[in-house]
Amino acid sequence: MANDIPFARLARFVPRRLRYPLVLKAVSFGLIGFVNAGVDAGVFFLARALLNTSSAAGAASAALAAGCACAAPETPITIAANVLSWMVAVTGSYVMNSSITFAAESGRTLRWRDYRRFALSGVAGLVANTGALVMMDDFLPIWGAKLCAILVGFVVNFGLTHFIVFRAQPERET
């Protein structure tokens, strides 16, 4: 059971009751997600800082927020930075999860079709992530709001990735 995943040697350190394939996949997905969270956060804070220093972006953000009368003037910049950081992180996540977490299902082969499904399923995670970010930004410092958003996105993304993108294929009789 543990030998069908790339982290087989590490599995011996996991208590027996936790050595279930779904739990091991969730842990692997989480470790890859931890790396991607760093990428996501780094790109997010860099993009947000760059957009905040641009007078054109600031004016567009304020105009957009005023036009919809639904957000603070800086909220569109926060959302734009979040979408950009997601776009960068989703590609790295697909490559690593195809090669490690879902290696048995993907055959460690990168396919455009699977990438499109992965990215499309990730849009649900992006929406959940962005919604959490915008909501939590009212109550927490931006770094805390981003951390909450990453956690919400993880839950949504793992569920969709496991059950839709890399679902186990039925065994064929030979």
Model pLDDT, residue 51: 94
Measured distance CA(78)–CA(72) in Å, rounded: 10
Measured distance CA(80)–CA(103) in Å, rounded: 32
Between residues 132 and 21, the one the model is more confident about:
132
Model pLDDT, residue 3: 47
pLDDT surpassing 70 at residue 15: no
162 residue type, one letter: H
Confidence of residue 16 (pLDDT cuts 50, 70, 90): low
CA torsion sign for 93, 29, 119, 62 is: negative
Model pLDDT, residue 1: 44
Q: What is the pLDDT of residues 56-66, one digit of tens each?
A: 888 888 888 88
Beta-carbon count within 10 A of 123 CB: 13
Q: Are 40 and 150 in contact (CB under 8 A)?
A: yes
| Average pLDDT of span 85-104 | 89
Q: What is the pLDDT of residues 31-82, one digit of tens each?
A: 998 898 899 899 999 999 999 999 988 888 888 888 888 778 888 999 999 9
Nearest Cα neighbor of 164 from 101, 111, 122 is 122
Nearest Cα neighbor of 54 from 68, 37, 74, 69 is 74
The pTM of the full predicted model, rounded to 2 decimals, is 0.68
